[in-house]
Structure 1
Amino acid sequence: MKRCTIFTFYHCLQPNTHHSNVGIFPHCLRFFFFRGYLSQRSFALGSTNTRPFPDYSPKRPTIRDSEIVHQISTAIKLRCSEPLRHTLKPFESKFRPDHLIWVLMDIRSDYRLVLDFFDWACLRREPNLEARCIVVQISVAAKDLKTAHGLIHDFWAKPNLDASIAFTHFVERLIYTYKDWSSDPHVFDIFFQVLVEARKLNEARKLFEKLLNYGLVISVDSCNLYLSRLSNTCDGLRMVVKSFTEFPELGICWNTASYNIMIHCLCHFGKIKEAHLLLLQMELRGCSPDVVSFSTMINGYCYLGELQRVLKLIEEMQIKGLKPNPYTYNSIVRLLCKTSKVVEAETILREMMNQGIVPDNVIYTTLIDGFCKMGNVAAAYRLFDEMRDLNIIPDLLTYTAIICGFCLTGKMVEAKKLFHEMLGRGLEPDEIVYTALIDGYCKAASSEPYCNIYTYNSIVNGLCKAGNILQAVKLMEDMEVAGFHPDTFTYTTIMDAYCKSGEMVKAHELLRDMLDKGLQPSVVTFNVLMNGFCMSGMIEDGEKLLKWMLEKGLKPNAATYNPLIKQHCLRNDMRTTAKIYKGMCAQGITPDGNTYNILLQGHCKARNMKEAWFLHKEMVQKGFNLTTSSYNALIKGFLKRKKYLEARELFEEMRRGGLVADREIYYFFVDINFEEGNTEITLELCDAAIECYLVGKATDENK
């Protein structure tokens, strides 16, 4: 792509001027770069009107208080390996909130002692805001930014907190303690990040502006976080553009990640040409576009179906030595399949693989769906086999595409086989799958004198999945008229629908009707009822059902116990949870992966991290996989306990498994690797976070 000269660049910014390649930017951004340059110069020159930080002057202790403070300070300094709670037991009845700050003044040089003493004090009484801010300042001065973040986050995570009042008090105390306790501006950066993460965006902006009075500017990385959160608000585009324009006037120098966020936001709101112009302007502002910049832009043009623009962008990437990533290829393949160029899309897949880039589930699913829609199910199934050979696990969308393809071409035997394979993998069929099966079976049955029981059951199942229970019940009645008697599967299917909609009385009526007709319920039938009881909060009824099953000699399975275990975990009743689990094992019933994940998350919620860690090890040994929720719960639990080695091990294990951690976990490990000087890993994690939570979001929404 030919590079713009300064003249043509300026020309494309003018109002009422059309540019064939990129279009016109909104007025508020047209002069952003000219204004930004001047404003940064004026900011760099500095202002002589900055306000000094206040001196810290706490109230003085009485003679009696001074004696108590001295005794406490001496006791904890002289302790050996004895726990602090034992050392300070004689002082518990005398200890008051004011003593906390005075003791901190005595022991501030011993950081570990400060944290231990603060934790001890917190167990007795909630510390006042001044004490919390002092410990935050000490943590930042000790370069322990994680602890500082946690201390601020814990305050803002309190329920029913009045954000406006809390912000005023917190920022006042943080400014008041700043000069004497830390003088490290990172403390305000961390506070800004916590406000943004807690979606207190108005308060974050107020903090940004307040700090300008003291001559401090929030870091560009924190401002990037602010931009990305703004893009998710109801007035996202306007607010992001406004901040992107104004912040350079206040001293922020945007980086490549900033532009990527802005490009993504513009594309997300359909401003593709404006996003392209911003991509061109990056280099003129000294920021080199990276693979994320181009991939986001390519995805935007793919969404519009503009293949020629996409090809030009790929050519420009190659000129700059940037290697397309799977996200780039996914966008192109999706566009080609959308325009019925499926053969060409497969060529892109082969080119991608020749370059050593391993395709993912998304690209294969897109191609399989494309071939199926063209009626070439053989090619689709070839790709389906290929992805399994490469150990790329098909998901619900993959199975849906190939099953629909077989149903469309009347190959119901193959469709049925894949349907059961999908169920065996624990995937829940959706309305699309059932609709395809119903349609396929109806077409297959049109040449026969009547439909079989399997066909009826498939249609009943599909109707229930679609939420049309009344029609499913009517069809069950029609089966009787046609000479086909509903079986256990028929009843269980409708009972499941009633249970999921909370209509337990009707589910009970069906069970009685089923028993009256001499049909023997299966373990699946009881599992459906158990799940219904637990979902409706009727745990006692669920426990009675389990007891009745055992008395009747009906052997439950893990799926019977899982809903009960989950409900007790949600209620934080781990004692009853353990009792049920032991009873399950005593019956010779082997826990499944779902059992382990439920227990693990329950123990993390109850802060039983040793038990959770043991369960994790046991799961891995038995070949079960942790879910994303389980990994997130474990990692967050260990981070709260300051068990950073265990948290890091789990985070790396999670990433190796292709799972995406929560944002705050990414933020933590980005920061910790940056502090440790691991630049390569830091950049890798930043790229991963951007692709997952900025670019990745656009991918999901455009599927």
Structure 2
Amino acid sequence: MKRCATFVPRYCFQTLHCHPQILSSLIYLPFNISNSSTRKFSFLGSSTTRNFPDYSPKKPTIKDSELVHNISTTIKQRHFEPIERILKAFESKLKPDHFIWVLMNIKNEYKLVLTFFDWFYLHRSPSLEVRCIIIQISVAKKDPKTAHELIHDFWTKPNVDASLPFTLFMEKLIYTYKDWGCNPYVFDIFFEVLVEVGIFNGAKKLFHKMLTYGVLISIDSCNFFLSKLSDNINTCKSTPSIFTEFLKKGVKWNTVSHNIMIHCFCQMGKVKEAHNLLIQMEIRGYLSDAISYSTIINGYSQIGEHHVVLKLMEEMQIKGLKPNKFTFNSVVFLLCKIGKVMDAEKILREMKVPDKVMYTTLIDGYCKNGNVKSAYKLFDEMHSKNILPDYITYTALISGICRIGNISEAYNLFLEMRNREMEVDEFTYSALIDGFCKDGKIKEAFSLHNQMVEIGLTPNVVTYTSLVDGLCKQGEINTANELLQEMCSKGLELNTHTYNSLVNGLCKTGNIVHAIKLMEDMKAGGVFVFPDVFTYTTLMDAYCKKGDMEKAHGLLREMLEKGIQPSVVTFNVLMNGFCMFGMLEDGERLLKWMLEKGKNGIIIITPNATTYNLLMKQYCVRNDMRGASEIYKGMLGNGVFPNGNTYEVLIRGHCKARNMKEAWFLYKEMVEKGYDLTVNGYNDIVKGFIKRKKYLEARSLFDEMRKKGLVADREVYNFFMDVNYHEGNLDLTLELCDEAIEKGIVDKTDV
């Protein structure tokens, strides 16, 4: 019989999963379970405890006794010979009872016991009693690995009769205990194997059964039970009741036990209960450690409780507990989640040995913020430090590059993964398919879909939702519906995002009636999804663009009545509707309403730069720069920072009103803050300076445009060609002329 490698119970579990695509912040919490030499067992003295039964096997006949004596003597005297040779003469006569009687004679010679059992195992299927006897001897001789294997095989090997009831195995182990081993560790091994193979009910019954004999399963084994229960989402809910039940029966839980329970509560999303247990743990006199705090910190990171995380980090520092890499990974994950990626990178710089998880989390964070340049910098840094990016890192980067519309670069990264024979999963494919769909390249997206199916990957609901969204944006609603039917036939449940893609597609093709009907079907419960903020906002946007502000308002009221929290995008859609149709007063009333509701805490939606930009743009269109400036001052007064579009709107507005001093001031401020003007912004400010006869400033900005590769319009090129020609700069005139023709600004016949 082939025996397994040394069994050392060492358990760990993951506390998170931010997203299925990336290991944003994995925490592995190792629990080192002591081995048999250091394991402590408890015997409960009580008047109600029973004694273990005496072993009373069947008595051998005289003939049997003679055979047993001959076999015992032979294997002892000729132990150096192959056992197959020395037992050849006895093979046909040997029965299970004979085997047990021989064991009684040789049980103190452990090597002989194992050799004899291996031989017997090859020729006969050992009875349950024989198996339990060898298990008892193995534990008594401090060989837990053999005992573990024999118990484990019973429940997992197909050639073993595991159909026997669990209670029969337990009773046989109890029956053979007193005379064959008498080491309580055997019940710990049995308990752990039951937990390993998922017979949790059996483990619980064994725990209570052993209490009747005055034996308490060790704390290490009980911790193993808790950790296995908490790892499985289906059994996680029962872990707190086991914790309480075993505590009442005499198990003295330790710090590791409490850490497992903290992890369990976090797994179930009950982070506050986990935090409360940490407090109770310390009140009861148990010492919390870095693992306790790391688990809680990770739990709060998942739900975005930034301030609580900072407070817990301070507590760790006060108690002299050093945050480990898992703690830092959780904090980095949280900072990236709330958009503070630069602060997260500072933590990486402070760590002596940042790991792959932290780099991947930061790369994903920068990509989600649209800062692919910084993501690439970290990606290259990983290579320079011999921290090899894995398929999760690549997927995060591919997703980020697709988000900014650089599909060819994302596809090159994908090919690089394939060339390096890296794992490419359905999430990698889905990210790339989504990128192609957003870029309007539906054929390429479907080609990738077919490719992933060919290599055995199953497209998920995200893959199909991307394809549906791409088809809808191209107006192919019927094809999108066919794809939805294919999804259903494959057993995939459509989610809200899938339906939102259809709603969005219907709205873009002007089919608002069908879009509303689809939302009504969602509300009626015809599908297992419900309209969300995106559904309502999409429909509101469609009504606003049609100028039907009353219906858009009606949808907002319905949202609020149903308790669906509008987003700032929802209000910006309304604001855009008001501004598009010149309803400035209504737009200002909406802004005022948002600010008032935010102060009262009724709807916590802070107007963002886009909200103010929409109003400012409309004032600029009316050439009312005083009104635009008032909105800008209000924006700054409410703590909203201007973005590139804010400066663009104001600069172009001032240029139109010929307020070039204000336009120039805003331009310099814009550059200082790292924003760039668009080509239209440059054209307007250059023309503004030309009209004010500020030719030096105009020339400087024109040269700046050319260096940046931006193409000025025909009027600007004509002006500078004329100026240079009249100044005698023929070479520059010809250069500008060639440039204008090359870029399609002017035709050769115009020159």
TM-score interval, normalised by the smaller of the two chains: 0.5 to 0.7
Whether the 8 Å CA contact 2:230–2:236 is kept in 1: the answer is: yes
- Cα offsets for 1:462-514 (capped at 9, x unmatched): 45437689x99xx9xxxxxxxxxxxxxxxxxxxxxxxxx9xxxxxxxxxxxxx
Which aligned pairs between 1:34-433 and structure 2 lie closer than 5 A? Answer: 46-159=45-158, 165-232=164-231, 236-351=235-350, 353=351, 356=352, 358-412=353-407, 414-430=409-425, 433=428
Which aligned pairs between 1:653-672 and structure 2 lie closer than 5 A? Answer: none
Determine the structure 1 residue equivalent to 2:649: none
d(CA) in 1 for partners of 2:375 and 2:428? 17
Q: CA deviation at 1:251?
A: 1.4
Whether the 8 Å CA contact 1:44–1:251 is kept in 2: the answer is: no
Whether the 8 Å CA contact 1:164–1:203 is kept in 2: the answer is: no
Q: CA deviation at 1:126?
A: 1.0
Q: Name the amino acid aligned to 1:59.
A: K
d(CA) in 1 for partners of 2:71 and 2:96? 13
- Give the total of aligned pairs: 419
d(CA) in 2 for partners of 1:281 and 1:333? 28
Structure-2 change in CA distance of 1:250 and 1:376 (3 Å): same
Query: Residue 452 of structure 2 is aligned with which of 452, 462, 465?
Result: 465
Whether the 8 Å CA contact 1:136–1:187 is kept in 2: the answer is: yes
d(CA) in 2 for partners of 1:143 and 1:415? 58
CA RMSD of aligned residues (A): 2.9
Structure-2 change in CA distance of 1:434 and 1:96 (3 Å): closer
Structure-2 change in CA distance of 1:45 and 1:443 (3 Å): closer
Structure 2 portions without partners, runs of 5+: 1-41, 468-489, 491-751
Determine the structure 1 residue equivalent to 2:732: none
Q: CA deviation at 1:166?
A: 2.4
Structure-2 change in CA distance of 1:468 and 1:237 (3 Å): closer
Structure-2 change in CA distance of 1:343 and 1:149 (3 Å): same
Whether the 8 Å CA contact 2:230–2:239 is kept in 1: the answer is: yes
Determine the structure 1 residue equivalent to 2:730: none
Structure-2 change in CA distance of 1:64 and 1:238 (3 Å): same
SS of the residue corresponding to residue 198 of structure 2 reads: coil
d(CA) in 1 for partners of 2:229 and 2:431? 41
Structure-2 change in CA distance of 1:280 and 1:385 (3 Å): same
Q: Name the amino acid aligned to 1:318.
A: Q
Q: CA deviation at 1:250?
A: 1.1
Q: CA deviation at 1:271?
A: 1.1
d(CA) in 1 for partners of 2:165 and 2:420? 49
- Cα offsets for 1:213-242 (capped at 9, x unmatched): 111100011111111232355663442111
d(CA) in 1 for partners of 2:194 and 2:408? 56
d(CA) in 2 for partners of 1:230 and 1:101? 38
Whether the 8 Å CA contact 2:44–2:214 is kept in 1: the answer is: no
Q: CA deviation at 1:417?
A: 3.3
Q: Name the amino acid aligned to 1:110.
A: E
Structure-2 change in CA distance of 1:335 and 1:184 (3 Å): same
- Cα offsets for 1:323-349 (capped at 9, x unmatched): 222221111111111111111111111
Q: Name the amino acid aligned to 1:264.
A: H
Q: CA deviation at 1:163?
A: 7.1
SS of the residue corresponding to residue 231 of structure 1 reads: helix
d(CA) in 1 for partners of 2:164 and 2:294? 43
d(CA) in 1 for partners of 2:65 and 2:414? 76
d(CA) in 2 for partners of 1:65 and 1:280? 67
d(CA) in 2 for partners of 1:167 and 1:443? 57
d(CA) in 2 for partners of 1:84 and 1:204? 38
Structure-2 change in CA distance of 1:237 and 1:436 (3 Å): closer
Structure-2 change in CA distance of 1:412 and 1:246 (3 Å): closer
SS of the residue corresponding to residue 216 of structure 2 reads: coil
- Cα offsets for 1:646-689 (capped at 9, x unmatched): xxxxxxxxxxxxxxxxxxxxxxxxxxxxxxxxxxxxxxxxxxxx
Determine the structure 2 residue equivalent to 1:611: none
Structure-2 change in CA distance of 1:268 and 1:184 (3 Å): same
Which aligned pairs between 1:279-678 and structure 2 lie closer than 5 A? Answer: 279-351=278-350, 353=351, 356=352, 358-412=353-407, 414-430=409-425, 433-434=428-429, 437=432, 459-462=446-449, 464-465=451-452
d(CA) in 2 for partners of 1:443 and 1:156? 52
SS of the residue corresponding to residue 354 of structure 2 reads: coil
Whether the 8 Å CA contact 1:54–1:176 is kept in 2: the answer is: yes
Determine the structure 2 residue equivalent to 1:546: none
Name whichever of 66-75 and 157-166 sits farther off: 157-166
Whether the 8 Å CA contact 2:44–2:211 is kept in 1: the answer is: no
d(CA) in 2 for partners of 1:233 and 1:468? 25
Q: CA deviation at 1:46?
A: 3.7
Q: TM-score, normalised by structure 1?
A: 0.56
Q: CA deviation at 1:186?
A: 0.6
d(CA) in 2 for partners of 1:468 and 1:93? 59
d(CA) in 2 for partners of 1:136 and 1:372? 56
d(CA) in 1 for partners of 2:337 and 2:293? 21
Structure-2 change in CA distance of 1:408 and 1:51 (3 Å): closer
Q: CA deviation at 1:158?
A: 4.1
Q: CA deviation at 1:49?
A: 2.1
Q: TM-score, normalised by structure 2?
A: 0.52
Q: Name the amino acid aligned to 1:397.
A: I
Larger helix fraction of residues: 1
Structure 1 portions without partners, runs of 5+: 1-42, 476-500, 502-703
Q: Name the amino acid aligned to 2:354.
A: P
Q: CA deviation at 1:299?
A: 0.6
Q: CA deviation at 1:90?
A: 1.1
Q: CA deviation at 1:407?
A: 3.2
Structure-2 change in CA distance of 1:239 and 1:405 (3 Å): closer
Determine the structure 2 residue equivalent to 1:544: none
Q: Name the amino acid aligned to 1:293.
A: S
- Cα offsets for 1:382-401 (capped at 9, x unmatched): 00001111111212221122
Q: Name the amino acid aligned to 2:362.
A: L
d(CA) in 2 for partners of 1:151 and 1:45? 28
Structure-2 change in CA distance of 1:121 and 1:435 (3 Å): closer
- Cα offsets for 1:117-140 (capped at 9, x unmatched): 011111111111111111111111
Q: Name the amino acid aligned to 2:330.
A: S
d(CA) in 2 for partners of 1:184 and 1:198? 23
Whether the 8 Å CA contact 2:44–2:215 is kept in 1: the answer is: no
Determine the structure 2 residue equivalent to 1:536: none
d(CA) in 2 for partners of 1:343 and 1:125? 68
Structure-2 change in CA distance of 1:432 and 1:118 (3 Å): closer
